[in-house]
Amino acid sequence: MAENNEVALVGLAGKVALITGGGAGIGRSIAESFAAFGAKIAVIEIDAARAEAVRGALEAAGVEALVVAGDADNVDTVNAAMAKIEAKFGKLDILVNNVGDFLKMGGPFGNSTEDQWDALYRVNLRNMFVVTRASIPLLRKAGGGSIINVSTIEAFRGIPKLTVYGAFKAAITGFTQSLAVELGPDHIRVNAIAPETTNTEQVKATPRVPPANKDYVKHFFPIGRFGEPEDCAGAAIFLASDILSGWVSGTTIHVDGGALAAGAWLQLPDGGWTHLPIIDRDGYAPPKSQ
């Protein structure tokens, strides 16, 4: 638990937060960070082992928590979870829509299939619709609250061979902005977080970079490293708090180490900068033998 003065400053104590995909990675970091500031936590997690792991961690920390093992895309599962939240907590103050994945479906768009489109839609956008719709009555019952949608920096730039994934992530921006306008009169704020490459169970970025290529990372990210789940948790704390962000709605925080702002600009080993195409391979791939 954070210090008492920090808890008061953030204003999450006693709030009820639901995090989808909260069993690992960014979702779990957000859940545990909210709990550290006194929030009560509900989690929907599709992976049963991860659901049990986060349940045990929250209970061990003395957090009042509810963990539902199930699919955030399933309407019956989500409606049942909302009923359990209402029965246990009586309200909902914060929703974090964290579920998303590219499902290893990279490749040319011309070779993609309708089944792939549908699968990417369900995991990256439809579940957000399902959970958000079900949460609105409880958020209204609380007198307002905060919805936080976890997107990706790829929603704001092109991503080759993941075109459908990028399209659904870009749609989160429109969903966030439109819903912010619609729910504003109910005192419900709606924002998004767009992370760059972050070390999670899905993406283990740092270990993939060979030692010989480790300097590539600091040249690509102005801040000089990949993201960590705690980086997104910090942004989520800000957006969840009416004290810190009570007049912030309809916007996206880019949690990207400055990568989007840099665009094509890369830092050279001598400290200079270039936007010329001098990189000859993927930084994850080891150098070619001479």
Catalytic member of 121, 165, 216, 284:
165
Instruction: Report the distance separating Cα 63 and Cα 41, nearest Å.
Output: 7
Name the β-bridge partners of 19: 43, 96
**141: buried, middle or exposed (CB in 10 Å: 19+, 13-18, 0-12)?**
middle
Sheet containing 40-45: give its strands across.
65-69, 40-45, 16-20, 94-97, 145-150, 188-195, 252-255
Run of H or E including 131: helix 127-141
Asked if 284 is an active-site residue, the reply is no
**260: buried, middle or exposed (CB in 10 Å: 19+, 13-18, 0-12)?**
middle
Instruction: Report the distance separating Cα 187 and Cα 194, nearest Å.
Output: 23
Cα four-point dihedral sign 105, 110, 112, 115: positive
Instruction: Report the catalytic residues.
Output: 165
